[in-house]
Structure 1
Amino acid sequence: MTIVLDEFALIAPRNGISYVRGSTAIELSEETIGQLLAGTAQRFPDRPAAVFRGQGIRWTWSEFAEEVDRLAVALVEIGIEKGDRVGIWSPNRAEWLLTQFATARIGAILVNINPAYRVVELEYALNKVACKAIICAERFKSSNYLEMLLEIAPELAAQHAGRLDVERLSDLRIVVSMDGSDLPGVLAFSDLMARGSAALEGGAGAILAALDAELFSDEPINIQFTSGTTGAPKGATLTHRNIVNNARYVAMAMRLSEADVLCVPVPLYHCFGMVLGVLSCVSTGASMVFPGESFDPGVTLAALAEENCTALHGVPTMFIAQLEHPDFASFNLSHLRTGIMAGSPCPIETMKKAVAKMHLAEITIAYGMTETSPVSFQSSTTDPLDKRTTTVGRIQPHLEVKIVDEYGSIVPIGATGELCTKGYSVMQGYWRDEEKTHESIVDGWMHTGDLATLDADGYCNIVGRLKDMLIRSGENIYPREIEEFLFRHPKIQNAQVFGVPDKKNGEEVCAWVVLREGETATVEEVREFCRGQIAHFKVPRYVHFVSELPMTVTGKVQKFAMREQMIRLLEVEEQKTA
């Protein structure tokens, strides 16, 4: 029987303070990722596990587990040991999924490399965590991954004793190309898999059994770099226990079972894809469908219809793109039921349209961060629509959350403060960065940097980022409130609000606006829409129309980039009028 979160009581705030604790009715799992997969493959050997539509790959759970073992043995054969860091640099492909589980199977630490990284970012990431190996696609969009590796490791083609001899990447020894390569120092993924098959036929399966007995749930298994929306990426270090349990509870909140088919258009390199998507399916036996290497609204809609998907994950911009696709009405989405909308604040209007037009009556909202594995709050499939459109739900099991002021004191119910999380989901720390770790985790509490409120029933509302809050003439202004209002404008598809410096008021409100296709609007029209509806000091002084917003690969808007660009534009305008 599928266990769902509705079956145990969530503990609401008490004594009028913003502190909430999750239920402990369903015990934490101490399984490793390998053990989790083995159990599912044993229960549902012939049920569909994974579909990669772009590659024409379809695996049952038993087939998927066998492919994982082939790669795991092959990694041992080429010298990967427990604790070694193995980078994965690729869009959503079957090889990514296999690497995720094969590394976990032998106790190596998977290092997620952002597919959008360029040379400087790649070199930083590989050196930061001392990657011994990297498995990569040959190219993705405009990026040629092997060429970038050659740029920072010109000795890549020079082999010495079967290992790479490099200088700038002093720890890198093995490069595997998913697409093959003529470079003498690069292994082809297909050859690696063939090597694994031969090893298994020779009895190497005993090696995996021995390694499995040496693995423990509290050991690090994954390093994920923060998205870089506010500064240099940091390597959040996560354990089996962190992400296995988060995936379990997230799946329960969605009521996922082996009968479900989850569409995963979000990137695998991020927690949204590999934990809320992949591991949630592995924990329940639900099958996972990957529409393509990266998100495309038409390709995703086709996958939803043709694979009879019952669940869909995505960030708000993905749902907006699908809802506004010119052929949206031609796709049969009647099988859809649930999923997760997360990754950035979810516009209320977008949520309502997803429920009404995409049949996602049981879609959930989730909130969290990479450093907390990631989800801390999630709505349930039975929460009233108003709670699913105005909050991020209630606390997940075995976690504690408090909302604190600038002095660290817990604020009253309904008051705004910084959200802090404690419990099994909190990362071990930032890899080789004790200073940043101690700044973020204080007495076990992860300081998220997010501004939030809690109501009397324990529902959480994310007001914005601590660093996003702006102060105009002494008034605290939370951008999300203005963004939600702007979404009501019939011509506006997306809007992001932030502060820019002002000599008189300290900061002024600026809105970047993306209009719906075919629409036109003026600055004054947008400002007039706001007047009399929101406080005068919240009405944007500056409105800048753009065709798209600067975003990370996971769909998070980069307000720091908008702010920097807007400041430059204002300086140019000031010089013109001087």
Structure 2
Amino acid sequence: MTAPEADALPASYAHGTSTTPLLGDTIGADLDRAIAAYPGREALVDVSSGRRWTYAEFGAAVDEVARGLLAKGVTTGDRVGIWAVNCPEWVLTQYATARIGAVMVNINPAYRAHELEFVLRQAGVTLLIASLAHKGSDYRALVEEVRGRCPDLRETVYIGDPSWDALTAGAVSVPQDRPAVIGAGLSCDDPINIQYTSGTTGFPKGATLSHHNILNNGFWVGRTVGYTEQDRVCLPVPFYHCFGMVMGNLGATSHGACIVIPAPSFEPAATLRAVQSERCTSLYGVPTMFIAELNLPDFASYDLSSLRTGIMAGSPCPVEVMKRVVTEMHMAEVSICYGMTETSPVSLQTRRDDDLEHRTGTVGRVLPHIEVKVVDPVTGVTQPRGTSGELCTRGYSVMLGYWEEPAKTAEVVDAGRWMHTGDLAVMREDGYVEIVGRIKDMIIRGGENVYPREIEEFLYAHPKIADVQVVGVPHERYGEEVLACVIPREAGDPPTLQEVRAFCEGRLAHYKVPTRLSVLDSFPMTVSGKVRKVELRERYAEPAGGRD
């Protein structure tokens, strides 16, 4: 071996090995195993309504909904839409469709008529299960508005309405063993779920996922945080998204743990009340959710001592927030996850005993049975460790494809079955991965590459800033300049641009120092809790001329 080869850094490639094999079951078979092992333990609790199910009761309720769907003519492979906020019926629908091999189509509760119509038509939804209303949206009226343009849609069932009661009552016309008979004939590789990605440009795409994809991902996420039948998992994150239904629901049931629904949608106080009253051991959220909980005026009055772990995902966690989550929320084993809908979702995760720096500076290391690599975005060549490039992932978790869109699938899944994430990443020598930005979010100012995450992390330490998002906006001379959008700690005392620049002076390279500042009350968000940076860029897209 020559000297240069000996000194070369290893490639940015990692493969998660394990002596524990992947699950080869369908979701229904896995649930049956949990029911047999823990029939009397709680499987599902809905705090707002007070309803509770043991595993035995949950299994019976799932089968009742499955038989009700069969009575309405739903067959294996049919698409069943679910357009609802978090509620027990959502969870029952998830497992009931899996029981009979129907493909559940998740529909964002924030969708309006044109988005709803697109999903119903594109997926060919034959039966829709929907909430009655949410945040001023009359779902029944919206369904009626689009029904005539959705030829496949035969019927809509509304949760909390006589039509839901009619669905479950219809189960009596179907033999009790029918779901089990159908389930025995299903393959774990069958498509079972379509999740529409956010789609920052044009209409969203339907990531098609199998039993094998999402059951194993939920299992491994739960195993990594040490779930057992003793755990109670508080889920304020939306079920329509992988965070709720895979990392949450399947992560819990694949280990015999209990799903706790604190409220139909995220409410900081309701979440902490649920943790306290149900003695939850695990809490999920994106960083903005944890920030909202920590900032409650009466935060210190909640007894959160039952918590030991949880999952934070969706965006990077500021160091100061993580410190408070670990100490004040008792989540010493909290885990950071990285993923995307197309990969079921998690590829990288921190471990229970990782230190603070790894939990805030990285998104963890590769999960078992998954491969990751960092490549040059142009050439596709794997980069040396410590060099930035596009993160790619491969393994059981990669989607079957975008529903009926092979050309769009080929744009992101290459011939080697690598999923190209579009995220810029650096793999450290120890295999942990840092996400340094989206390829499309990277700011190029006067030829210098600027990564918003670095500036955001720095500005979180400013005494007047509670939250911050950094985006690139047009500049006539430099191409782009750095805009910091901040939420102040005190509404009446926001930071000025001069104060922010003075805070950065001498501590950040000059080209990274924000040249524009916007003070906001809140950031535009997706329902899953991610900040819509594309909206911030569009809002401030007017070039700033000669400002430097």
Q: Same fold (TM over 0.5)?
A: yes
User: Could you tell me whether the CA contact under 8 Å between 1:40 and 1:285 is conserved in 2?
Assistant: yes
Residue 175 (str. 1) matches residue 156 (str. 2): yes
Shift of 1:350: 1.3
Q: How many residues align?
A: 536
In structure 2, distance between residues paired with 1:305 and 1:446: 40
Q: Residue 79 of structure 1 corresponds to which residue in structure 2?
A: 73
- Partner SS for 2:541: helix
Aligned ranges for residues 89-488 of structure 1 at < 5 Å?
Answer: 89-153=83-147, 166=148, 168-180=149-161, 188-196=163-171, 198-199=172-173, 204-229=175-200, 231-405=202-376, 406-442=378-414, 443-488=416-461
User: Which consecutive aligned stretches of 4+ in structure 1 deviate over 6 angstroms post-superposition?
Assistant: none
When residues 105 and 170 of structure 1 are mapped into structure 2, their CA distance, relative to the original with a 3 A threshold, is same
Q: Residue 523 of structure 2 corresponds to which residue in structure 1?
A: 549
- Partner SS for 1:457: coil
Percent of aligned pairs with the same amino acid: 52
In structure 2, distance between residues paired with 1:517 and 1:357: 22
Give ranges in structure 1 of 5+ residues lacking alignment.
1-13, 154-165, 182-187
In structure 1, distance between residues paired with 2:17 and 2:173: 45
Shift of 1:529: 1.1
Shift of 1:180: 1.8
Out of 61, 67, 70, which is 2:61 matched to?
67
User: Could you tell me whether the CA contact under 8 Å between 1:230 and 1:560 is conserved in 2?
Assistant: no
User: Could you tell me whether the CA contact under 8 Å between 2:316 and 2:360 is conserved in 1?
Assistant: no
Out of 456, 460, 484, which is 1:511 matched to?
484
In structure 2, distance between residues paired with 1:118 and 1:476: 37
Q: Residue 160 of structure 1 corresponds to which residue in structure 2?
A: none
Which amino acid letter does the alignment assign opposite residue 221 of structure 1?
Answer: I
- Partner SS for 2:269: helix
Out of 12, 19, 22, which is 1:28 matched to?
22
Give ranges in structure 2 of 5+ residues lacking alignment.
1-7
User: Could you tell me whether the CA contact under 8 Å between 2:464 and 2:488 is conserved in 1?
Assistant: yes
Shift of 1:230: 5.1
- Partner SS for 1:169: coil
Q: Alpha-carbon deviations, 1:339-388, whole Å to 9, x = none? A: 10001222222111111111110000000100000000001111122211
Q: Alpha-carbon deviations, 1:252-296, whole Å to 9, x = none? A: 110011111110000000000000000011011111111000000
- Partner SS for 1:132: strand
In structure 1, distance between residues paired with 2:507 and 2:96: 55
Shift of 1:15: 5.7
Which amino acid letter does the alignment assign opposite residue 91 of structure 2?
Answer: L
In structure 2, distance between residues paired with 1:515 and 1:366: 27
- Partner SS for 2:240: coil
In structure 2, distance between residues paired with 1:50 and 1:231: 37
- Partner SS for 2:177: helix
User: Could you tell me whether the CA contact under 8 Å between 1:310 and 1:337 is conserved in 2?
Assistant: yes
Q: Alpha-carbon deviations, 1:505-537, whole Å to 9, x = none? A: 111111111112444221211121111111000
Q: Residue 503 of structure 2 corresponds to which residue in structure 1?
A: 529
User: Could you tell me whether the CA contact under 8 Å between 2:497 and 2:515 is conserved in 1?
Assistant: no
Out of 10, 14, 23, which is 1:16 matched to?
10
In structure 2, distance between residues paired with 1:206 and 1:46: 22
Q: What is the RMSD computed on CA atoms of the aligned residues?
A: 1.4
After TM superposition, the structure 1 stretch with the greater mean CA deviation from structure 2, 510-519 or 54-63, is 510-519
In structure 1, distance between residues paired with 2:440 and 2:541: 17
